[in-house]
Amino acid sequence: MLPKCYSLHRAIQIIHLSLGMHIDIISLVPELMQSAFAHSIMKRAQASKVVEVNLIHLREYASGKQKQLDDYAFGGGAGMVMMIEPIAACINDLKSKRNYDEIIYMSPDGELLNQKMCNQLSLMTNIIILCGHYKGVDERVREHFITREISIGDYVLSGGELAAAVLSDAVIRLLPGVLNDETSALSDSFQDNLLAPPVYTRPAMYQEWAVPEVLLSGHSANIDKWRHEQSLQRTQKRRPDLLK
Ligand code: ADE
């Protein structure tokens, strides 16, 4: 069930492991993301220096007394637009310290996030993620600074922060050394375009509901076969589009 290019992918990841991944997330409300990175697997990944996540408050780059970050849209219309100056100052400052592989803008009109994109991003060393708010950012930011726009689904969030946390989590958990069981990311849903098979734990019998016998057999070839069949059936039933 390994993706075809998996060993090459892993080799590149291991080279990157020695460098560690660095993610800068630029936001008007970084507090919204603090908890997502302060617990469990994300916390461990940072503690073990596999990844460094830097939450940046865009306000630090605003100028003038007002520290203005947004303004009315030229041409009128409801909603404020995030101004180019503070974003440009922030990105230029970051770029003076590191070379970035991607400068990503979280936006509902970006490419739809999937596992393949997460695998690709997990091979990168330095990335910036810009979170939008209000009506979005001045288009010139997208034209001149952003290298990639990513959406986490066809719905509109009130800001890009939760989307940035989703993207970062999905990427960071793929970095070698992050998951306890090195192989567990391999059996995730979508890793080979199949949904994951059902899983069970003790008790083997709950009321009259039994765990499938094959899983208790200790016969690993039969278990692998059963899991693969279950994955196929589940994908056929729930997400036939993935099999095309
Ligand atoms: N910002 C607002 N909605 C979003 C979405 N669906 N994906 C990414 N960023 C967003």
Q: Which atom from ligand 1 is nearest to the alpha carbon of 106? A: 9
Residue 152 near ligand 1, beta carbon < 6 Å? yes
User: What is the enclosing helix (H) or strand (E) of 243?
Assistant: none
User: Given 3-state DSSP classes, what are the helix, strand and coil percentages for the chain, each rounded to the nearest 5?
Assistant: 40, 20, 40
pLDDT at position 183, please? 57
Contacts for 163 with CB less than 8 Å, ≥ 6 apart: 106, 131, 150, 151, 152, 157
Q: Which two tokens stand for residue 94?
A: 């970051």
Q: Which two tokens stand for residue 21?
A: 């991944």
- Return the closest-CA partner of residue 171 out of 108, 107, 101, 231: 101
Each residue's pLDDT, cut to its tens digit, for the chain (244 residues) gives 445 555 676 666 665 555 699 999 999 999 999 999 999 999 999 999 999 999 999 999 999 889 999 999 999 999 999 999 999 999 999 999 999 999 999 999 999 999 999 999 999 999 999 999 988 999 999 999 999 999 999 999 999 999 999 999 999 999 999 998 655 777 788 878 999 999 999 999 999 999 999 999 999 999 999 999 999 999 999 999 999 8
If one residue of 27, 28, 129, 151 were mutated to test the ligand 1 pocket, choosing by the most ligand atoms within 8 A of its CB, it would be 151
If one residue of 32, 117, 152 were mutated to test the ligand 1 pocket, choosing by the most ligand atoms within 8 A of its CB, it would be 152
The CATH number for 194-243, chosen from 1.10.357.10, 3.40.630.30, 1.10.1270.20, 3.40.50.150, is 1.10.1270.20
User: What is the enclosing helix (H) or strand (E) of 53?
Assistant: strand 51-57
Euclidean distance between CA atoms 42 and 172, whole angstroms: 7
Whether 131 and 167 have beta carbons less than 8 Å apart is answered as no
Euclidean distance between CA atoms 166 and 160, whole angstroms: 10
Whether 193 and 185 have beta carbons less than 8 Å apart is answered as no
**Which pTM value belongs to this model?**
0.90
Whether 54 and 22 have beta carbons less than 8 Å apart is answered as yes
- Measured at the CA of 160, the angle between CA 44 and CA 149, to 5 degrees, comes to 100
Count the neighbouring beta carbons within 10 Å of the beta carbon of residue 187.
Answer: 17
User: What stretch(es) of the chain map to CATH 3.40.1280.10?
Assistant: 6-172
**Cis peptide bond prior to 203, omega within 30° of 0:** yes
Architecture of domain 6-172: 3-Layer(aba) Sandwich (3.40)
In 137-241, which residue ranges form alpha helices assigned H by DSSP? 139-144, 161-172, 220-238
User: What stretch(es) of the chain map to CATH 1.10.1270.20?
Assistant: 194-243
Quote the ligand 1 centre to 168 CA distance (angstroms): 14
SS3 146: coil
Whether 42 and 52 have beta carbons less than 8 Å apart is answered as no
Please classify residue 80 by burial: count the beta carbons closer than 10 Å to its beta carbon, then call 0-12 exposed, 13-18 middle and 19+ buried.
Answer: middle
Euclidean distance between CA atoms 200 and 24, whole angstroms: 38
